[in-house]
Structure 1
Amino acid sequence: MSILTLMQAQLETFSAGERQIANTILDDPDMMARLSSIELARKSGRSQSSVVKFCQKLGFSGYQDLRLEITRAAAAARSAPLDAVHSTIDTGDDALITAQKLLSSKIKSLQETLGINAPGQMDAARDMLNGAARVQLSGVGASSLVARDFAYKLQKLGIPVLFDGDSHIQIAHAATLTESDVLVSLSQSGTSLETLRVAETARQRGATILTVTGLHPNRLAELADIALRTVTDEERVRSSAITSRDAQLILLDMVFLRLVQIRDGAVELISGAAEAVAPLKL
């Protein structure tokens, strides 16, 4: 995981002063190649000693080590070719190279996504869902597909679920939620107006909210009781929601498996669902 990704992932855990330093760096990482610690302190409105302590908190011995690592990460972030169709995949790549690059991109995204979400956070999400009277799933676009998949999985565990691909119906569902219900809201950007409207309605109704969004600060995550985060490589060059979809899936699959492990009769319910549809297969 790059230092820029790590800083973005930890942003909400930083103190106000640390966040000022981090945001100054994240807003323009290229400038770090020419900034001294005194200059960074001045730009971020903090003291030089605060900058040094920030470096040490991130695991570096001092400012020079952090500056070097950020310079490397910034250079790597600029390395996507102009004719890339997805991350580092070029229009001239053959099928084998495309497959290898895509696989590498997916593996990196999944590993980093699991790495930034603490096990305790995942289990807190599990417990939230396990104790819910009803669970509503919300998402638009590619996130709607992931929401539908998770809704299906929860239904197989006997959990009452609300889901509809129509965002207006999602809003109507949210208007019926109570303090005993949970909304699971998915949006890579965290800025989809329909998804935000659903979450705001659920919040007004007193429901508990679990969100799955990208690393960057966003309004949807701010509404959450528990906010899970995804790491993708689609910010630089994006042809479609590929690694973000996979990252959302692995987080919710992990929560689902943890539910299966603690719910009485879960395995039997899943087997029963499979047996019920078995006669429909040739």
Structure 2
Amino acid sequence: MFMTTIKDKIISNFDSFSKNEKNIATFIIENYDTISHYNGNDIALKSGTSKATLVRFSQKIGYKGFIELKREINDEQLSSIRHSPYETFLSTPGKDFLFNNLINDINSFEKRLSLSKVKTIVEYIASASTVYLIGFGTDSIAMKYLYNYLPICGINCVYTDDQGVSLREKILPMTEKDLVIMSNFSDMEDDDYMVARYAKKVGAKFVSMTNSDIVGKSVEADVYIITRETAETFYNSPILSILLCNIILSELRHTYPDKIESELKKYNDAINFMKNKL
């Protein structure tokens, strides 16, 4: 059995926080393992609050201020109280729990999902000169999925899971006529922010699939949709992200039937031709 952590304490007191304090709590929870990288100014900025609110938040859970709270989290992690990947593996729930949890997540996702946001994304896709599909690590799975289907709908796409110089070279041609769809969850890297900043600089639309309001706001996405699953596992599950991709593809086909159907027919004819020639 694991000892109670500061993260547990924050979660258990979540409902008692003010709106701004909840923003801070959400940021700390979602960046718990890397919170030592942030100072008070960083957290206030990224959570859209102030240092005074951060101090009040820290005091509400029993600390004089954020410095003491951060030090306690660091000590906790150094003492190996934080779950290791192996411990998380051992505590990953079985299939019955996962099925029930996933059904609840899907029902919750359906209630939260804004159809107007989906329609906006579809409009962005249909009108874009090029759609850039970007994700790193397991965040790339949903982007690769879209890349399998958008081109056969006649949508010009660039897919990349590259980082560093290769990523910069891929997005260099981006213009105000383009769209970026990016899967970027809480544990973000410099390249996530770089893509968002560059899209804003050139005037391209930016859509984020994420697990956090804070991330969506911090990258200044034109539209963001949260696809967070609640089960704690040692793997990152892309099921809700793939579900969102299916909804986008379906809405695209129904909104622009003439364009999409003709492109799908062209693709189908080409496949049949190649099969017959083999």
Instruction: Give the TM-score normalised by structure 2.
Output: 0.63
- Asked if structure 2 preserves the Cα contact closer than 8 Å seen for 1:191 and 1:220, the reply is no
Q: State the secondary structure of the residue aligned to 1:163.
A: strand
Q: Which amino acid in the other structure matches residue 136 of structure 1?
A: Y
How much has 1:210 moved relative to structure 2?
0.6
Q: Hey, what does 2:144 align to over in structure 1?
A: 148
Partner of residue 254 from structure 1, selected from 216, 238, 247: 247
Q: Hey, what does 1:226 align to over in structure 2?
A: 223
Q: Over residues 93-130 of structure 1, what are the superposed CA-to-partner deviations in whole Å (9 max), with x where a residue is unaligned? A: xxxxx332222233233332232221111111111111
Mapped to 1, the partners of 2:27 and 2:223 lie a distance apart of 26
Q: Hey, what does 2:233 align to over in structure 1?
A: 238
How much has 1:23 moved relative to structure 2?
3.9
How much has 1:140 moved relative to structure 2?
0.5
How do 1:1-282 residues align onto structure 2 when only pairs under 5 Å count?
A: 19-20=19-20, 22-23=22-23, 85=89, 89=93, 98-167=94-163, 168-189=165-186, 191-218=188-215, 221-234=218-231, 237-242=232-237, 245-263=238-256, 264-277=258-271
**Number of corresponding residues:** 209
Cα 1:182–1:224 shift into 2, 3 Å: same
Identity of aligned residues (%): 16
Mapped to 2, the partners of 1:27 and 1:210 lie a distance apart of 20
Mapped to 2, the partners of 1:169 and 1:127 lie a distance apart of 29
Mapped to 2, the partners of 1:28 and 1:158 lie a distance apart of 42
How much has 1:191 moved relative to structure 2?
1.6
- Asked if structure 2 preserves the Cα contact closer than 8 Å seen for 1:175 and 1:202, the reply is no
How much has 1:198 moved relative to structure 2?
1.9
Mapped to 1, the partners of 2:145 and 2:226 lie a distance apart of 18
Mapped to 1, the partners of 2:136 and 2:100 lie a distance apart of 27
How much has 1:233 moved relative to structure 2?
1.4
- Asked if structure 1 preserves the Cα contact closer than 8 Å seen for 2:130 and 2:177, the reply is yes
Cα 1:220–1:176 shift into 2, 3 Å: farther
Q: Which amino acid in the other structure matches residue 174 of structure 2?
A: L
Cα 1:25–1:132 shift into 2, 3 Å: closer
Cα 1:84–1:164 shift into 2, 3 Å: closer
Gaps of 5+ in 2: 1-10, 30-55, 58-85
Gaps of 5+ in 1: 9-16, 30-42, 45-81, 90-97
Q: Which amino acid in the other structure matches residue 19 of structure 2?
A: R
How much has 1:182 moved relative to structure 2?
0.6
Cα 1:267–1:189 shift into 2, 3 Å: same
- Asked if structure 2 preserves the Cα contact closer than 8 Å seen for 1:121 and 1:226, the reply is yes
User: Mean alpha-carbon deviation: is it higher for 178-187 or for 100-109?
Assistant: 100-109
Q: State the secondary structure of the residue aligned to 2:150.
A: helix
Mapped to 2, the partners of 1:26 and 1:138 lie a distance apart of 25
Q: Give RMSD over aligned pairs.
A: 3.4
Q: Which amino acid in the other structure matches residue 238 of structure 1?
A: T
